[in-house]
Structure 1
Amino acid sequence: MDAPRRMTPPVTGPAQTAVVALPAEPASVSVARHWTTDLLTRWGVSADDLDTALLVISELAANTVRYGHAEMTIRLLQQTGWLYLCVTDSGDPSAAHRLVIPQELAEHGRGLAIVEALVETIEVTREPEGWRVGAVLRLAVAGTPAAQSAADVA
């Protein structure tokens, strides 16, 4: 039997964390993307990893808007070589209307499968007031500020 995969990144150096709370509204998906872009750029995350992280955040935030509660909290944690991305929804349940459409015709419903293909691990947890979805992305070594400085010297 395979060993269970860790949900949180291993502690292997200094961590950087950031949290933002947003209303679970369609406009917040764009806000979440811009916030993530600005933050990960300051943290020195590589362009490829940034693109992947943006896709993950977009999918998780869009799911919260479509199926979640009134508010969403986005939490990012970067440690050497790892990025933990988490979206939690909370508040009163939204009145999201869910249509039943045959899977072969559905335009939606593939987001978590896409996220799962891009990250090391993904975990969906029922919270007392909503849901928490966390994903761990392995970062390219060249995306860390120390590695970038070393590459510039070489």
Structure 2
Amino acid sequence: MAPSPNYRSHAPEQAVPVAAGCGPHPAVPAPTAVLALPADAACVSAARHWSIAVLTLWGLGREDCGTAALVVGELTANAVRYGHRDMSILLLLRPQRLYVCVADSGVVSQDHRPVIPQDPAEHGRGLALVEAVAEAAVAAREPEGWRVGAVLRVGTAGQAARSGAVAL
């Protein structure tokens, strides 16, 4: 089965479904966290710190948390720069996979107009970085804004969270 044009994936079975909100709809509950923020540059750091705190609570290792924080940072920075007034971040942990989705919505602000970067060394690498560390990544235009997601392979340290036993 070939992936649809809305997918970019190293393995079609691991593709990020756009229509499903950047993650699978599991038959069994999975650790899920959602954060809604204004699409403001000051919130990018807060989103990264939040993702690290959540993933640490879920039992993910330091390297997995760092990779996820990089992805959250890049996707939220893009939402701030090119998106609408509000953004939300979804983290969904499944066996050996972390689904990360950032969506923007609301009124388009005058501050969020795309700008051609003057220095390519300073801008324009965000999605390339995400694609480099993710098994799959997708960006989709939706009626209310953009939805961008990534699937990250994570270690087995998250087993405690999936079983419901989280050490604090």
TM interval, shorter chain, is: 0.7 to 0.9
Against the structure 1 CA distance between its residues 44 and 142, is the aligned structure 2 distance closer, same or farther, given a 3 Å change threshold?
Answer: closer
Superposed CA offset, 1:48-100 (max 9, x none): 11000000000000011111110000011001111000000000112234443
Where does residue 100 of structure 1 map in the other structure?
Answer: 116
Question: 2:59 touches 2:161 (CA, 8 Å); kept in 1?
Answer: no
Against the structure 1 CA distance between its residues 101 and 64, is the aligned structure 2 distance closer, same or farther, given a 3 Å change threshold?
Answer: closer
Where does residue 129 of structure 2 map in the other structure?
Answer: 114
Query: How many pairs align?
Result: 144
Which of the residues 100, 123, 132 maps onto 2:147?
Answer: 132
Give the percent of matched residue pairs that are identical in Structure 1 and Structure 2.
53
Calculate the aligned-residue CA RMSD, in Å: 2.2
Q: Matched residues in 2 for 1:53 and 1:146: separation?
A: 16
Against the structure 1 CA distance between its residues 144 and 12, is the aligned structure 2 distance closer, same or farther, given a 3 Å change threshold?
Answer: farther
Question: 2:59 touches 2:157 (CA, 8 Å); kept in 1?
Answer: no
Which of the residues 92, 96, 103 maps onto 1:88?
Answer: 103
Against the structure 1 CA distance between its residues 83 and 146, is the aligned structure 2 distance closer, same or farther, given a 3 Å change threshold?
Answer: closer
TM superposition shift of 1:131? 0.1
Runs of 5+ consecutive residues of structure 2 not aligned to the other structure = 4-11, 17-22, 163-168
Task: Specify the structure having the higher radius of gyration (Cα).
Answer: 1
Q: Matched residues in 2 for 1:123 and 1:87: separation?
A: 11
Question: 1:9 touches 1:82 (CA, 8 Å); kept in 2?
Answer: no
Q: Which structure has more strand as a fraction of its residues? A: 1
Against the structure 1 CA distance between its residues 10 and 139, is the aligned structure 2 distance closer, same or farther, given a 3 Å change threshold?
Answer: farther
The code of the aligned residue for 2:46 comes to V
Which of the residues 134, 138, 141 maps onto 2:156?
Answer: 141
Alignment of structure 1 residues 33-112 onto 2, 5 Å: 33-95=48-110, 96-101=112-117, 105-106=119-120, 107-112=122-127
Q: Matched residues in 2 for 1:101 and 1:51: separation?
A: 26
Question: 1:67 touches 1:94 (CA, 8 Å); kept in 2?
Answer: no
Against the structure 1 CA distance between its residues 138 and 9, is the aligned structure 2 distance closer, same or farther, given a 3 Å change threshold?
Answer: farther
